[in-house]
A and B are shown apart, each in its own frame.
Chain A
Amino acid sequence: MADGHEHVSCQAVVELVTDYLEQALPPHEAALVEQHINFCEGCDWYVDQMRRTVATVGRIEEGHVPPETRDMLLAAFREWRRS
């Protein structure tokens, strides 16, 4: 039973960071992570690194449909439309 004594180590925090950022941690564990980040500069920086990593990945652009594919699929759509 939680009594305010528990703490998580930095090693534990780096494993919990995704669940923490996803808001998927039970409140007790989220509180432990926040308590830890509150005093541990290293982990505060690590969580920040993780946030910036996600932001960087989010800037990767994808989604270009090759022209041949687009043409082929449009033709198939017209075919389907006719039937």
Chain B
Amino acid sequence: MIAYKFLRSDGTSPFTRFAWPVPRGEPGDWLEAPIAPCRSGIHACRARDLPLWVGRALYEAELDGEIVEEPTKVVASRARLVRRIDAWNDNARDAYTRMCADRAHELAVGASPVLKDWDAVIEPSIREGPALLGFVAARIAEARSGVEAYHAERARQTAWLVERLGLEPS
């Protein structure tokens, strides 16, 4: 199964700082991690999860072995990084951040009544980057129109990323 993995610029996991074998010309080494009932296994994103886990460096990953699908991620007992998605660079990050900020304004100002306090958070958040702005836009959508709107906004974000980065939409 093809999936995605966000890592820090140095190729380490954002939460555990685990150093992944990164691809250099060819896929990185396979990792194995048995899936215990509540823990371990290797975590990765489907396309629809991408906005939730936005990080510095994006890789395409191949998953194998036992694969468990969870609400916001997929967990596998075997995985390797196939290639770095170079299209996810500073320009793409900035463009995505700006897109989310513009959407957030649109949603907050277009609301009735106007979500002024929510709108005020947008610009100051820009410096914190794409993950935060994606969250801000989705939450403003939710504040305006409920949970469905939250999901719709996240789906928009996924669609933007899939198109911009040339990913498989599944």
Contacts and interface: CB of A to CB of B under 8 A. Distances in A.
Interface of A: 2-5, 7, 23, 26-28, 31, 34-35, 37-41
Contact of A3 (B14, B49, B71): B71
Given A2-B70, A5-B151, A34-B14, 8 more contacts: A2-B72, A27-B39, A27-B70, A38-B53, A39-B128, A39-B129, A39-B134, A39-B135
B15 A34 contact: yes
B73 interface: yes
A23 B16 CA distance: 12
A40 B135 CA distance: 10
Contacts of B147: 5
Contact of A38 (B14, B38, B142, B150): B14
Contacts of A35: 52-53, 72
